[in-house]
Chain A
Amino acid sequence: MSTYSDASGAIAPLPKVRRATGFGGVLPALAFVTIFFIAPVAVLLLRSVLEPVPGFGNYAQLIGSATYLKIFANTFIVSGLVTVISLLIGFPVAWALAIMPRRLTSVIFAILLLSMWTNLLARTYAWMVLLQRTGLINKMLIGMGLIDKPLALVNNLTGVTIGMTYIMLPFIILPLYGVIRKIDPSTLQAAALCGANRWQCLTRVLLPLAMPGMAAGALMVFVMSLGYFVTPSLLGGTANMMLAELIAQFVQSLVNWGMGGAAALVLLVVTLSLYAVQLRFVGNQNPGGR
């Protein structure tokens, strides 16, 4: 806003033809992003319709094969599960963080940030060890008498779901915390004065007020889960591939650029369209924009 008055004196109305200023500054980054980001991704996607023969053969093959459909199903089921579980755990935690005494919250926040910043491979490795047949989790469950035989918690979708939920939790707690903090406590007092009991206050006031934040956070976690590569490939077995691994496999082991590009396009389209939906949510919830 101020740039108009800065550039052309105090009382310049919005000029119809304005000189472009500052474009030189963004040129290096624009060149860099075009050459090393847009062009490579565009070429990859193009190859999906050009290789091995021009046409939509790759896409037909992706949709037509039961193997690939199962991978799509795995990806969506795991991402959905991770989203729902993160939301179920994350909401009470975010709620507690928003109202707990300061000293306690700062400790929890430190733990949240530490786990978020800790190397992804280190955390995934920890779960590989914790979840194995002879691992701590199985031992504890047996020790508590809950199970007789060790459960298969790793090298399957259970392992992926546990590991991914672990990684996604901070990503849902932090935005939800922001939303709940902004809710005016007097709205809940008003509900209570009007005779609502605790449960009604929760389900008819607090949850609906937090809903935009929950939707935005859930979408973000879902989208991030869809494209995850490292955790699913280390905690999932070879039999339970997810979409990102499929893309990597097409390219690395099968050297099939056409199919790799096609699978990448599917992931990209789903990701970007869900982001577009999320932008709408965030826009509605916070008209000032962020």
Chain B
Amino acid sequence: MLLNFDRLGWWKYILLTITLLTAAFLLLPIVFIAALSFGSSQWLIFPPPGWTFQWYSELFADPRWLESAWTSFKIAVIVTILSVLLGLVTSFGLVRGSFLFRDALKALFLTPMILPVVVLAVALYAFFLRIGLGGTLVGFVISHLVLALPFSILSISSALEGFDKSIEDAAVLCGASPLEAKIRVTLPAISHGLFSAAVFSFLTSWDEVVVAIFMSSPTLQTLPVKVWATLRQDLTPVVAAASTLLILLTIILMALVAVVRKVLKQ
């Protein structure tokens, strides 16, 4: 009876209240920031005395904001491409291969997911200082790739595990070369895995702050680092505008994922 919603009696209302309050709690900051970004008060008073686009025009008028957004985007795109390619090759090896320590190796590839990011950030910072990659685009890409690759390997491996290899073998028997069979039969079949790998990699890089704080230089910083640096000085509503745009991008990506999942299922 405790697992039947209609037979819970008045407990139902307690559960419902807690759930709705929690949902409101989770939604509050997101809605709040979006509202504030249009508020006319510089002191972030809520409800604001009036509504304005001032913070957005300030955001778009400042070349440093645009530049950091462009840097973030560039890095995220390169990381996404590398992460999917490397994840694909690695997943083929992990899923189809048979060699010593295969499972241990897979666990090793996934470790960056569970390690405290600050440890990785500090370690890479020291390493890049020494080899001169600190504050460079290559440094950013490498460090973000370390964090994105596990997600890529995880999504592509699980898609590949769910694919029956005999279909690929059949294509080879029908005269396709092994590579051709992989490209024209296997890749389309695991495209949902490739797609999630790409989205996860992009978002991992795009939203990454901790490593980026250590990687950035005065001339090269990503959008989250710019937000971070601005926040350390004051709580200006321009950050609310930047945050709202970040949230908007998340919603668009989430909607895209939902749509693509539906299309791929059909």
Query: Which residues of chain A have a CB within 8 Å of any CB of chain B?
Result: 2-4, 6-7, 18, 20-30, 32-33, 36-41, 43-44, 47, 89, 92-93, 95-101, 107-108, 111-115, 117-123, 125-130, 132, 134-136, 139, 166, 169-170, 173, 180, 183, 185, 188-189, 192, 198, 201-202, 205-206, 223, 226-230, 234, 244, 247-248, 251-252, 257, 260, 264, 267-268, 271-272, 275
Q: For B263, what are the chain A residues with a Cβ–Cβ distance below 8 Å?
A: none
Name which residue of chain B comes closest to A268, CB basis: B119
The 7 closest A-B pairs by CB, nearest first: A22-B97, A25-B93, A227-B116, A126-B29, A122-B243, A20-B99, A26-B93
Q: Are B26 and A112 in contact (CB under 8 A)?
A: yes
Contact A121/B29 with A198-B11, A248-B118 known, Cβ cut-off 8 Å: no
- The answer to the question of B125 belonging to the interface, with a C-beta cut-off of 8 Å to chain A, is yes
Give the distance to chain A from B227, nearest Cβ to Cβ, in Å. 5
Q: Are A271 and B114 in contact (CB under 8 A)?
A: yes
- The answer to the question of B61 belonging to the interface, with a C-beta cut-off of 8 Å to chain A, is no
Q: Are B98 and A3 in contact (CB under 8 A)?
A: yes
Q: Are A22 and B210 in contact (CB under 8 A)?
A: no
Known A-B contacts: A25-B96, A100-B16, A234-B231. Give 11 more (CB < 8 A). Answer: A6-B165, A26-B105, A32-B146, A36-B142, A37-B120, A40-B127, A41-B120, A100-B5, A101-B5, A114-B30, A244-B118
- For window 111-129 of B, CB contacts with A under 8 Å fall at 111-112, 114-127
Q: Are A115 and B27 in contact (CB under 8 A)?
A: yes
Q: Are B235 and A128 in contact (CB under 8 A)?
A: yes
A26 to B99, CA, bound (A): 11
- The answer to the question of B250 belonging to the interface, with a C-beta cut-off of 8 Å to chain A, is yes
Query: Which residues of chain B have a CB within 8 Å of any CB of chain A?
Result: 1-5, 8-9, 11, 14-16, 18-19, 22-23, 25-30, 32-33, 36, 43-46, 86-87, 89-90, 92-94, 96-100, 105, 108-109, 111-112, 114-127, 142-143, 145-146, 149, 153, 165, 169, 203, 207, 209-210, 213-214, 224, 227-228, 231, 235, 239-240, 243-244, 246-247, 250-251, 253-254
When A and B form their complex, what is the total count of cross-chain residue pairs whose Cβ atoms lie within 8 Å?
273
Q: Of the candidates B90, B99, B239, which one forms a contact with A29 in the assembled complex, judged by CB atoms under 8 Å apart?
A: B90
Q: For A101, what are the chain B residues with a Cβ–Cβ distance below 8 Å?
A: 5
A205 to B2, CA, bound (A): 10
Q: Are A22 and B247 in contact (CB under 8 A)?
A: no
Give the distance to chain A from B208, nearest Cβ to Cβ, in Å. 9
A38 to B143, CA, bound (A): 13
Q: Are B22 and A93 in contact (CB under 8 A)?
A: yes
Q: For B99, what are the chain A residues with a Cβ–Cβ distance below 8 Å?
A: 20-23
Contact A183/B86 with A114-B30, A130-B32 known, Cβ cut-off 8 Å: no
Name which residue of chain A comes closest to B26, CB basis: A115
Most buried by B among A27, A98, A129: A129
Q: Are B1 and A126 in contact (CB under 8 A)?
A: no
Q: For B93, what are the chain A residues with a Cβ–Cβ distance below 8 Å?
A: 22-27, 29
Give the distance to chain B from A232, nearest Cβ to Cβ, in Å. 11
Contact A206/B2 with A25-B92, A33-B109 known, Cβ cut-off 8 Å: yes
Interchain Cβ contacts under 8 Å between A and B, 17 examples: A23-B97, A32-B145, A33-B108, A95-B15, A96-B18, A117-B250, A119-B250, A128-B231, A134-B43, A166-B29, A169-B26, A188-B3, A198-B9, A230-B210, A248-B121, A264-B122, A271-B116
A91 to B125, CA, bound (A): 40
Q: For B149, what are the chain A residues with a Cβ–Cβ distance below 8 Å?
A: 29, 32-33
Q: Are A96 and B19 in contact (CB under 8 A)?
A: yes
Most buried by B among A37, A92, A227: A37
Most buried by A among B36, B108, B111, B116: B116
A163 to B99, CA, bound (A): 45
Q: Are B126 and A2 in contact (CB under 8 A)?
A: no
A129 to B238, CA, bound (A): 13
Q: Are B33 and A183 in contact (CB under 8 A)?
A: no
Name which residue of chain A comes closest to B213, CB basis: A248
Q: For A166, what are the chain B residues with a Cβ–Cβ distance below 8 Å?
A: 25-26, 29
Q: Are A29 and B120 in contact (CB under 8 A)?
A: no
Q: For B250, what are the chain A residues with a Cβ–Cβ distance below 8 Å?
A: 114, 117-119
A194 to B75, CA, bound (A): 62
Most buried by A among B92, B123, B126: B123
A170 to B14, CA, bound (A): 20
A71 to B203, CA, bound (A): 32
A120 to B210, CA, bound (A): 11
Give the distance to chain A from B11, nearest Cβ to Cβ, in Å. 7
Give the distance to chain B from A101, nearest Cβ to Cβ, in Å. 7
Q: For A33, what are the chain B residues with a Cβ–Cβ distance below 8 Å?
A: 108-109, 112, 146, 149
